[in-house]
Structure formats: structure tokens, C-alpha cells
Amino acid sequence: METDVVAAIREELEQSADEKTRDNANRFFKEEVKFYGVKSAVVRKIAEKYFKEIKTKDKKEIFSLCERLLESNFGEEAAVAFEWAYSLRKRYEPTDFQVFESWVREYVDNWAKCDTLCNHTLGSFIEQYPEFIRNLKDWARSENRWLRRASAVTLILPARKGKFLEDVLQISDLLLKDKDDLVQKGYGWMLKEASKKHQEEVYDHIMKRKSEMPRTALRYALEKMPENLRRKAMQR
């Protein structure tokens, strides 16, 4: 049954692919990436269609299917795997963190995979089990650029709701002088989302660090601030 589901997904992705979509997808990445060339909306429909066939299975078995999809390295198969993982959010338990962390380490090799997994699956997990934020702080110190980006983008959706402000500011400090532009964009984005509910605190945080903060992170962090505050913060 497992092989049938994975094989059926791959066949459907191949049939739904077109060259123009593939070429467009490739333009977004500096890294070498693998795409069939299937539009995101179609990938989501495929993920939903086949999840109906497997949703009654044991969670461990579904995670195993996700890993088989991830092993192919195709962006669309990763999107299906991460959609399935997010669909299981009501069944998360603390031991699942090890699974998700291993996926970041082993299968995340571009920003799209990082953000899809972290924004939804990991963000939802952290809201349920906030004690694992300490693990995100360990990620922020990692040599692996995707773990560092993941430490920030996992908190994007919780930060948008006003949650975990202190942790958001601590993680942004850990990443403050990171030389990797994708990490800079990641923590800048996290600060931007946190500023929607905590504008004053985030602005004060930025102003105290603006001389050290890379311009890329600074621009992202200030995106939702009023124009006068943005201008003031961007002055060196």
C-alpha cells in the first residue's frame, strides 16, 4: 500500500508538470533544486487527495511515508510531505520534535522547504509545546544555515499572534551578526511579524542594535513600521 501511494503521487506530479512552471520555480533559488514544475495549488490538491487515503494510519507510518517523499529531493514531494505532517497537528506529541529536527538536518536544502516545514508544522508544534523553544536557540548557534534560518522562521506565525516575544528577541540576538543573507532575512521576517502586536518593544530592540544589524535584516524587520520610524531606523 505504501509504495502505491508514493508511486501514485509521483505519477500524478509528473502528469501535472509543465516546463514553464519548472523554469519559474528554478529562478527563485541560488542553490541547485529539483522540481517537476507543478503549480502550488495543484500540489496542495494532490496532498489532500492522498491524505484521505492514509489519514487513518498510525502517525509513525505516515511520517515514514513523508520521509520516502523527502528522499526524492523534489520540491513538490517535500511540499506534500510537509502538508501531511501539518495535517497531523492534533496528534503531535513531544517526541515528534526529533522527527522534525531530523527533517531540517537531512532534507531541507533551500529556503522554500525550510519555510514550508517551519511556518506550519514546527510553528504549530512549538505553540503546543513551547518548552522546545530552547532547542530553537540551540539551532540558532548551529553551523547548518537551514537550522539557523529555521530557528527564526519557526516562530513567524506564533510571533504574528503576539506570542513568545522574549524568545523572538533572544533568537534575533543570537542571529544578529549572521553573515548568511537567508538567515538575515529569516530573523528580520520574524521581527517584522512580532512588530505587528509589539511595535514599541520590537522598535526599541532594533534601535539599540541597528549599528550591528545587517541592512538586509534591518529592512525586513522594519517593513511594517510607520514610515517615520522606518526612516529614523535606517539612518546610520
Domain boundaries, the chain: 1-91, 96-236
Query: pLDDT, tens digit, for every residue of 205-219?
Result: 999 999 999 999 999
Q: pLDDT over 70 for what percent of the chain?
A: 98
Mean pLDDT of 54-76: 96
* H/E run at residue 26: helix 19-26
The per-residue pLDDT for 37 is: 93
Q: Of the given ranges (3-7, 54-58, 76-80), which has the lowest mean pLDDT? A: 3-7
Residue 236 has pLDDT above 90, yes or no: no
Q: How confident is the model at residue 70 (pLDDT cuts 50, 70, 90)?
A: very high
Q: Which of 64, 72, 7, 63 has the alpha carbon at shortest distance from 35?
A: 72
Q: What is the mean pLDDT of residues 105-124?
A: 96
* Class in CATH terms, 1-91: mainly alpha
Q: In the predicted model, is pLDDT for residue 28 greater than 90? A: no
> Residue 202 in contact with residue 195, Cβ under 8 Å?
yes
Are 138 and 150 contacting, i.e. CB atoms less than 8 angstroms apart? no
pLDDT at position 3 is: 53
**C-alpha dihedral sign at 124, 129, 65, 50:** negative
Among 144, 93, 150, residue whose Cα is nearest residue 123: 150
Which residues on adjacent β-strands are paired with residue 111?
none
pLDDT for 111: 95
- What is the domain class of 96-236 according to CATH? mainly alpha
Residue 234 CB-half CA count within 13 A: 15
Q: Which one-letter DSSP state was computed for residue 177? A: T
- Asked if pLDDT for residue 177 goes beyond 70, the answer is yes
Confidence of residue 27 (pLDDT cuts 50, 70, 90): confident
The pLDDT of residue 132 = 98
Place 77 in a pLDDT band, splitting at 50, 70 and 90.
Answer: very high
Residue 72's CB: how many other CB atoms inside 10 A? Answer: 18
- Average pLDDT value for residue range 90-114: 97
Q: Which residue has the higher pLDDT, 1 or 38?
A: 38
Which pLDDT score is estimated for 2? 47
Q: Specify whether the CB–CB gap between 28 and 65 falls below 8 A.
A: no
CA 60 to chain centre: 22
| Other beta carbons within 10 Å of 169 | 19
- CB neighbour class for 179 (10 Å; exposed up to 12, middle 13-18, buried from 19): exposed
- 25 pLDDT band, cuts 50/70/90, is confident
**Cα end-to-end distance, the chain, whole Å:** 61
pLDDT at 172 over 80: yes
Phi, psi at residue 121, to the nearest 5°? -60, -60
Mean pLDDT score, 118-136: 98
- Which residue stretches of 88-144 are H helix? 96-107, 111-116, 123-128, 133-139
Do the domains at 1-91 and 96-236 have one common CATH topology? yes
Q: What is the mean pLDDT of residues 13-29?
A: 89
* Helix (H) or strand (E) run with residue 202 in it: helix 199-209
Average confidence (pLDDT) over 52-75: 96
Are 58 and 45 within 8 A, CB to CB? no
